[in-house]
């Protein structure tokens, strides 16, 4: 499934393990017929050299896509801000933090975390920062077009005043647009400039990459809703425990499973 827009591509592919990896490797070498050279390093620049491919192995056969479907969309994330109204991601995007750094940032005071997913996703799983750390904000969106409206709400601006702003989503795509929109407003709108926001950060690779770095869950609570036919899943170590419980309960209804807790 490939969504193609003026601002870029958003693709989810399924296939044989080696085939998908070969595809990713070939894309990294693709120059689009426009070869460029980095003036500082002399290295060849390619279109997908810095793309972060998210790989999930061992999907059940029923979760594979039956065919390749590529289609054009006006926006990768539908904010109702198409064409010239859309903020330039390359110019205004937030600072990308790897999971370890994002994890630390969530523990800092004077920080807010915006879940830029829809509310039904946040309702089954979200980050839970420690006491004294960041404050969670769920915009309670039913659909993405509500985010620009929510961002312009006076109550929202009051929550962001003088704060570091963290954003996260499933894989990182929605954060690209959300962070760019906020940073554009910080530079072009006087009332947003006056808020004194101390920085806009986003989770590199999204919740999916955070789970890979913190398989026991870290500061995450609940499940992560995904759109690649897995639908919802917990961190890997938590899922493994749940599978073990189901197997043991099925074979021995009176067996109690004792698990270790992990400090992160």
Phi and psi, residue 126, nearest 5° = -165, 170
Among residues 254, 251, 224, 249, the alpha carbon closest in space to that of 236 is found at 224
pLDDT at 264: 33
pLDDT at 258: 36
| Whole-Å CA distances, 64 to 55, 207, 224 | 13, 21, 19
Average pLDDT over residues 124-149: 95
DSSP 8-class letter at 84: G
pLDDT at 261: 33
pLDDT category at 88 given cuts 50, 70, 90 is: confident
Tokens at residue 144, please? 């993405």
Q: What angle do CA 49, 76, 187 make, to 5 degrees?
A: 85
**Catalytic positions, please?**
169
10-49: pLDDT as tens digits: 888 899 999 999 999 999 888 887 778 888 888 888 888 8
Q: What pTM does this model have?
A: 0.78
| Whole-Å CA distances, 212 to 37, 50, 178, 216, 253 | 33, 19, 24, 9, 32
Pairing of strands 2-5, 70-72: parallel
Among residues 216, 104, 125, the alpha carbon closest in space to that of 170 is found at 125
CA distance 169 to 146: 16
Q: Which of 49-63, 198-212, 242-256 has the highest mean predicted lDDT (pLDDT)?
A: 198-212
pLDDT at 229: 47
pLDDT at 165: 98
Question: Is residue 223 predicted with pLDDT exceeding 70?
Answer: yes
233-257: pLDDT as tens digits: 666 666 655 555 454 555 555 444 3
Question: Is residue 171 predicted with pLDDT exceeding 60?
Answer: yes
């Amino acid at each position: 499934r490939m969504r193609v827009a003026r601002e870029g591509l958003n693709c989810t592919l399924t296939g044989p393990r080696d085939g998908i990896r070969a595809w990713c490797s070939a894309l990294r070498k693709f120059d689009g017929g426009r070869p460029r050279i980095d003036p500082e390093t002399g290295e060849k620049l390619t279109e997908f050299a810095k793309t972060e491919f998210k790989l999930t192995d061992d999907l059940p056969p029923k979760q594979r896509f039956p065919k390749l479907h590529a289609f054009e969309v006006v926006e990768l994330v539908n904010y109702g801000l198409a064409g010239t109204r859309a903020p330039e991601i390359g110019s205004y995007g937030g600072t990308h933090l790897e999971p370890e750094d994002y994890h630390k940032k969530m523990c800092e005071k004077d920080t807010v975390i915006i879940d830029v997913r829809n509310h039904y996703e946040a309702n089954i799983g979200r980050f839970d920062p420690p006491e004294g750390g960041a404050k969670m904000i769920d915009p309670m969106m039913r659909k993405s077009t509500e985010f620009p409206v929510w961002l312009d709400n006076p109550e929202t601006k009051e929550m962001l005043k003088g704060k570091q702003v963290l954003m996260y989503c499933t894989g990182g795509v929605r954060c690209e647009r959300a962070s760019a929109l906020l940073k554009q407003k910080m530079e072009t709108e006087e009332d947003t400039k006056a808020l004194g926001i101390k920085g806009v950060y986003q989770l590199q690779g999204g919740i999916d990459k955070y789970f890979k770095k913190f398989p026991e869950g870290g500061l995450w609570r609940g499940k992560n809703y995904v759109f690649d036919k897995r639908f919802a899943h917990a961190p890997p170590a938590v899922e493994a425990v749940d599978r073990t419980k189901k197997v043991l309960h099925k074979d021995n209804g009176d067996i109690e499973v004792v698990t270790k807790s992990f400090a992160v």
